[in-house]
Chain A
Amino acid sequence: MSMTTTEATTHGAVGADDTSIAPELLLQMHAHMVTARVLEERLITMYRQGDGYFWIGGPGEEAFNVPLGMLVHKGEGIAYDYLHLHYRSSGTLVALGADPVDSLRQMKNTATDPYSGGRNFGSHYSVKRWNVVPVSSPIEVQYSMCTGTAIAQKRAGSKGITIVQGGDAGTAEGDFATCLVWSSRKGHESPVLIIVTNNRYGISTPWEGQHGEERVSDRGKAFGMPTVTIDGNDPETSYHAIKKAMDYVRTEKKPYLLEVMVSRLHGHSSASGANFVTNERDCLKDFEAKLEARGLRTRKEMDEMRAKVTQELLEASKRVREEPQPEGSTIYDHIFADKNYVAGER
């Protein structure tokens, strides 16, 4: 079976030609995609220049991750959506309103890094006030954890849903099955939007040869949940598909499996060089061609936008370089909440 993105588009129930998104929204989406892309380019450059030890990120996934962030019901606590993301989610964070400079801080592992205080790799986000639970490096564990936030939301009768996202190779882990099983228990279904961003690779291992199922989305069928595979290189398709899936999960309080075909434009991570690949579709380029053809933005405007963000992040990276590193003596901080807590002594 060939897993081309075009084929995947036709498989989905959502048409790519749905153009009902307001122009202002498309332009906002584009701006976020530009920021997210330039941010990844800056992070890669920082890595190359010795301003970071490791890079991993999501260039090539912006056309999906940005609409996802725009559609999230954002806030803190069970009334809002929970996000159990992975290390390719910068686009989502940018769309949520995160300051890209904070990503530079995490790359440079500064004490000012608001996500981990210089403790974790770049793109390992954690934002309590937006229910972005900490991204951790072990593949797929978020699929075992997300059922907990979803159960809490359902019990509270909340409008909030739980969103979980990870890659295709990771679905071989038991945690993916955990998610399917737990979220679809009859009579106890829970509101989880299960997203798999399929770039057809693990690190180097291709999809072909590792999977008996035709598509990841097929696995949802056995559990009676709606499933679809979409073209994640098209932000409009993504937007509609996410909206439809979210509406279902929010109203029915049941799981929905969304497989998204995406590109991996700089390889797996810095471990494989992080060079730009030329044989995969570039969602930003395609979208810009569309916007230009529809007269929504000119080439010149788009070039200027990109140059401006590039310049801003370049300057920011210089500033971040001067920000303090965490002190070694802080390693014992935050091992326990309320570290002198003793029950009965309050």
Chain B
Amino acid sequence: MATVVQAVRMALHVGEDRLGVTDIFGEDIGPPLGGAFTQTQGLRTAWNSPLDERGIIGTAIGLALAGQKPVCEIQFCDYIFNTIDLLKIAGNTLWSSNGQWNVPMVCITPVGSGIRGSIYHSHSFDATATHIPGWKVVMPSNPLDAYGLMLSAIVDPNPVMYLLPKALMRTRALPEELIPGEPGDDKALSKMIDAPLGDRTQWRAEWPDTPNLFVPIGKANVLRQGEHVTVISCGRLVREAMRASDELRAEGVSVEVIDLRSLYPYDWDAIKSSVRKTHRVLVVNEDTEITNFGEHLIRRIVEELFYELYAPPRLLAGAFVPGIGLADNLEHASVPQRSQMVTLLRELASHEP
């Protein structure tokens, strides 16, 4: 069973092998390391860039304008903030040129907390990324989606921001998340595509034959059907939401779990039908709560589905504090915890108008 990071790597291989990817680049992306999280080991088109985030985004834009298909990486989203004006340009070039130039690039950036990354390895980027028009924004929660969303990002003719939850990198696929063609056996896969320790100069990856399996951008995944309350989340917190729903099941509370997968465009149809069914909704993400993408979803739910609601929609998001402190207690107090989800979902489920 592939891990998320292996899934990303296999998708990038498919990208350069048959979907036209010309460049996979960023800090420590090429040999010998192959990415701070090993996500680009063994890839033919991977190369190391200077330590210059603006240069990385700028070069990706230039490559895209020249008809190439670049996949660039900002090593941690904590370091993407000095590129925002360039991200805006990637997002507005088609519009400002009145349709002349599209910018088909992918930007991968690891996001979020959960690895005790302290102040500068725990940032989220979804609130900011979804505030930049012209970008599609995706965030996988498991290896299969990591694979399929990457393929979709690669073939998309627009800039796509691929938010990769750091805490999920070593998360293994559940049986239903198996990528077709991968050996299934962890050791066998590792032997094929994980670079060995020590001298890697002679090493070549042996890629399993995996298919063009696209997870469409803009389509959510209703992971679990439920009756009483809906939880909408993405990335790392999806599995937490599933566990919260497991806990509540014992109490007779039936929770519908939606994994957004795409933040923009987002799957309004999936949200709408779920709210019409359960009439109660909790939105969960770990970016800071002011101003938060979940707030947008709730605004739209209130405006368009007001008379469907049996309870005020709730947002569970990161605390609006300048950083995530290193100590366990500090991190726990800063980002949504499963126990909070359970409490809120329980409250919502029993709320009557």
Compute how far the CA of A11 lies from the CA of B61 in the bound complex, rounded to whole angstroms: 35
A343 touches B217 (CB 8 A): yes
Interface centre among A84, A126, A148, A344 (most CB of B within 10 A): A148
Return chain A residues, CB-CB under 8 Å to B61: 144-145, 148
A82, A126, A148: the one contacting B70 at CB < 8 Å is A148
Is the CB–CB distance between B62 and A147 below 8 Å?
A: yes
Task: Give chain A nearest CB distance to B22 CB in angstroms.
Answer: 8
Q: Give every chain A residue within 8 A of B92 (Cβ-Cβ).
A: 136
Interface string of B143-168 (1 = CB under 8 A from A): 00000000110011110000000000
In the bound assembly, the distance between CA atoms of A144 and B99 in angstroms comes to 22
Residues in A whose Cβ lies below 8 Å from that of B52: 174, 178, 181-182
Q: Is B329 among interface residues, defined by CB-CB distance under 8 A?
A: no
Q: Is the CB of B99 within 8 A of A333?
A: yes
Decide yes or no whether B184 CB sits under 8 A from chain A: no
Query: Is A82 in contact with B98, judged by CB distance below 8 angstroms?
Result: no
A residues less than 8 Å from B151 (CB atoms): 343
* A299–B98 alpha-carbon span in the complex (Å): 42
User: CB within 8 Å of B: which of A144-166?
Assistant: 144-153, 155, 162
Across the interface, do A149 and B63 meet the contact criterion of CB distance under 8 Å?
yes
Q: How many residue-residue contacts, CB under 8 A, span A and B? A: 160
Q: Which of B49, B89, B133 has the most CB of A within 10 A?
A: B89
Q: Find chain A residues with CB under 8 A from B213 CB.
A: 344
A122 to nearest B CB, angstroms?
Answer: 13
Residue contact B85 to A138, C-beta cutoff 8 Å: yes
Interface centre among B85, B95, B102 (most CB of A within 10 A): B95
Closest to B85 in A: A138
Q: Within the complex, which residue of B49, B63, B86, B158 is in contact with A337, where a contact is CB–CB below 8 Å?
A: B158
B66 lies within 8 A of A134 (CB): no
Tell me, in angstroms, the Cα distance from A113 to B86 when the chains sit together.
25
CA distance A209 to B68 in the complex (A): 42
Q: Is A147 a contact of B218 with CB atoms below 8 Å?
A: no
Chain B residues within an 8 Å CB radius of A175: 54, 58
A128 in contact with B66 given A136-B89, A181-B55, A337-B157 (CB within 8 Å): no
Known A148-B61, A341-B156; contact A134-B67, beta-carbon cutoff 8 A: no
Can you list, as one digit per residue, whether each of B83-105 has a CB less than 8 Å from chain A (1) or not (0)?
00110010011111111111010
**Cα distance A341–B218 when bound, in Å?**
10
Chain B residues 35 to 93 lying within 8 A of chain A, measured CB to CB, are 49-50, 52, 54-55, 57-68, 70, 85-86, 89, 92-93
8 Å CB contacts to A: which residues of B205-224?
212-219
CA distance A148 to B86 in the complex (A): 13
* A151 & B59 in contact (Cβ 8 Å cutoff): yes
What separation, in Å, do the CA atoms of A338 and B22 have in the docked complex? 21
B134 at interface, CB cutoff 8 A: yes
Contact B65 A133 (CB under 8 A): yes
State A343–B164 Cα separation when bound (angstroms): 19
Interface size on B, residues (CB 8 A): 52
Smallest CB separation, B56 vs chain A (Å): 9
Q: Is the CB of A119 within 8 A of B98?
A: yes
Collect the chain B residues with CB atoms within 8 Å of residue A144's CB.
Answer: 54-55, 57-59, 61, 86
With both chains docked as a complex, state the minimum distance between the C-beta of A194 and any C-beta of chain B, in angstroms: 14
- A138-B89, A335-B134, A344-B216 given as contacts; is B99 within 8 A of A148 (CB)? no
A128 contacts B156, C-beta separation under 8 Å: no
Q: How near does chain B come to A43, taking the closest CB pair, in angstroms?
A: 19
| B152 CB → nearest A CB, Å | 4
> Quick check: is A185 within 8 A (CB to CB) of the other chain?
yes
Q: Considering the complex, which residues of chain B in the window 10-33 have a beta carbon less than 8 Å from any beta carbon of chain A?
A: 22-23
Chain A's nearest CB lies how many Å from the CB of B95? 5
Please state if A133 and B101 are interface contacts (CB–CB under 8 Å). yes
Considering the complex, give the chain B residue whose CB is closest to the CB of A143: B58
Q: How far is the CB of B68 from chain A (nearest CB, A)?
A: 5
Q: What's the Cα separation between A116 and B96 when bound, in Å?
A: 6
Nearest-neighbour CB distance to chain A for B65, whole angstroms, equals: 5
Asked if A141 CB lies within 8 Å of chain B CBs, one says yes
Tell me if A285 counts as interface (CB < 8 A to partner B). no
Q: Report whether A145 and B217 are in contact in the complex, using a CB–CB cutoff of 8 Å.
A: no
A116-B98, A336-B158 known; A343-B152 Cβ under 8 A: yes
Interface contact A152-B63, CB-CB below 8 Å: yes
Q: Find the A residue at minimum CB distance from B90.
A: A145
Q: Are B155 and A343 in contact (CB under 8 A)?
A: yes
Q: CA of A258 to CA of B240 in the docked complex: distance in angstroms? A: 57
Contact with B55, one of A113, A136, A178 (Cβ below 8 angstroms): A178
Q: Which residues of A contact B22 (CB under 8 A)?
A: 152, 155
CB distance from A130 to the nearest CB of B (A): 11
B58 A134 Cβ-Cβ under 8 A? no
Give A114-142 interface residues, CB cut-off 8 Å to B.
115-117, 119-120, 124, 126-128, 133-134, 136, 138, 141
Contact B54 A341 (CB under 8 A): no
- Contact: A152 with B214, CB < 8 Å? no
Cα(A170)–Cα(B205), bound, Å = 45
Flag if A145 contacts B214 (CB, 8 Å): no
A15 within 8 A of B: no
A138 to B96, CA, bound (A): 13
Out of A138, A182, A344, name the residue touching B50 (CB < 8 Å): A182
Q: How far is the CA of A164 from the CA of B223 in the complex (A)?
A: 50
Query: Are A148 and B95 in contact, with the CB atoms below 8 A?
Result: no
Residue of B59, B62, B92, B102 with most partner-chain A CB within 10 A: B62
Q: Please give, as numbers and ranges, the residues of chain A lying within 8 Å of B219 by CB-CB distance.
A: 342
Using a CB–CB distance below 8 Å, which chain B residues touch chain A?
Answer: 22-23, 49-50, 52, 54-55, 57-68, 70, 85-86, 89, 92-102, 104, 133-134, 136, 151-152, 155-158, 212-219
User: What would 22 A/B residue contacts be, using CB atoms closer than 8 Å?
Assistant: A84-B62, A116-B98, A119-B96, A126-B97, A126-B98, A128-B101, A134-B96, A136-B92, A138-B85, A138-B89, A141-B85, A144-B59, A145-B65, A145-B86, A147-B62, A148-B61, A148-B62, A152-B62, A152-B68, A333-B98, A337-B102, A343-B214
In the A-B complex, list the 3 residue pairs whose CB atoms are closest, starting with the nearest. Answer: A148-B62, A144-B58, A344-B214
